[in-house]
Amino acid sequence: MKSRFLNNVKLVFLKDIRSELRTRYVINSLLMFVLVTISIIRFAIGDEKLEDELLTGLLWIAVFFSASGGLSRTFVKEEEKETSAALKLTAGPAEIFTGKLLFNLVLTFVLNFFILVLFILITGYTIKNPGLFMVVMSLGNIGLVAASTIIAAIISKANSKGTLYPVLSFPVLLPLLLTVINATKLASAGIDTKEIAGEFLILVSYNAVVVTVSLMLFPFVWED
């Protein structure tokens, strides 16, 4: 039973990777979005040296809007192309959700790598505790992806798909964003790990709650 679950998760994940590599349905538009966003930030700040606190906020604005542009497409594409029925007939809801969650995680991590490299090159953003910074960014990304994936599933069933994502995601992601921006700011300032234990705990708890609730909620969303 367990191996069947893992096998089907892998099949859904690999299907999404293969589809994305062939169609560039999401990645091309997201890379352009990242390039435009980072360019605008560069033009806006000019030769000024912004404080790292402010840059952290700008970094997460770029991450959040890039993710919201791409992650919301996961299930919308299945509904628009009428492929969801074939998936429903062959795989369980938990398998489909987990496979798509993993795909979104990979997509977001790749995307954020580009965002971070470009952001550092263009703004001169300094990270004094890189290890802690990467852990915080990873936890933030997991929370962002988990919440976005279930919201994507919900909006795929709605008529006004485009407008619903920001409306639904803002209240769900607000606690995550507030915590992760603060933790990123502290990590980039080189603070010691034990001093952000509180933020760390909130991020881990948020991720655990969102993933668990999503897995419980998804069958009701997916199976009409």
Partner 1 sequence: MAALSIHTKDLTKKYSGKTIFKNISFELSSGDSAVIVGRNGSGKSTLMKIIAGIISPSSGTMSFMNNGNKVEFHDVKRKLGFVSPYLNLYDELSAIENLRLFSGLKSDSAAGDEGLVSLLELTGLADRRNDEVKTYSSGMKQKLKIAFAMLNEPELLMLDEPRSNLDKSGIETMERIAEMQKGKGILIIATNDEDDLKLCSKRINIEEHK
Which residues contribute to the site for partner 1 (CB under 8 A)?
4, 7-8, 11-12, 15, 18-19, 22-23, 81-83, 85-92, 95, 223-224
Instruction: Tell me how far, at minimum, the Cβ of 12 lies from partner 1, in Å.
Output: 8
CA proximity to 187, closest of 153, 138, 222, 152: 138
Instruction: Tell me how far, at minimum, the Cβ of 150 lies from partner 1, in Å.
Output: 20
Instruction: Tell me how far, at minimum, the Cβ of 168 lies from partner 1, in Å.
Output: 22
Instruction: Tell me how far, at minimum, the Cβ of 223 lies from partner 1, in Å.
Output: 7
Whole-number Å distance between alpha carbons of 48 and 174: 29
SS3 string, 35-53, reads HHHHHHHHHHHCCCCCCHH
Question: Among residues 22 and 49, whose Cβ is nearest to partner 1?
Answer: 22
SS3 string, 78-92, reads HHHCCCHHHHHHHCC
> In this structure, what token pair is assigned to residue 186?
């502290």
Question: Among residues 39 and 90, whose Cβ is nearest to partner 1?
Answer: 90
Question: Among residues 51 and 223, whose Cβ is nearest to partner 1?
Answer: 223
Instruction: Tell me how far, at minimum, the Cβ of 19 lies from partner 1, in Å.
Output: 5
For 93, 127, 143, 222, the CA distances from 150, given in Å and listed in that order, are 12, 32, 11, 10
DSSP per-residue letters across 137-180: HHHHHHHHHHHHHHHHHHHTTSS-HHHHHHHHHHHHHHHHHHHH
Question: Among residues 19 and 29, whose Cβ is nearest to partner 1?
Answer: 19
Question: Among residues 23 and 28, whose Cβ is nearest to partner 1?
Answer: 23
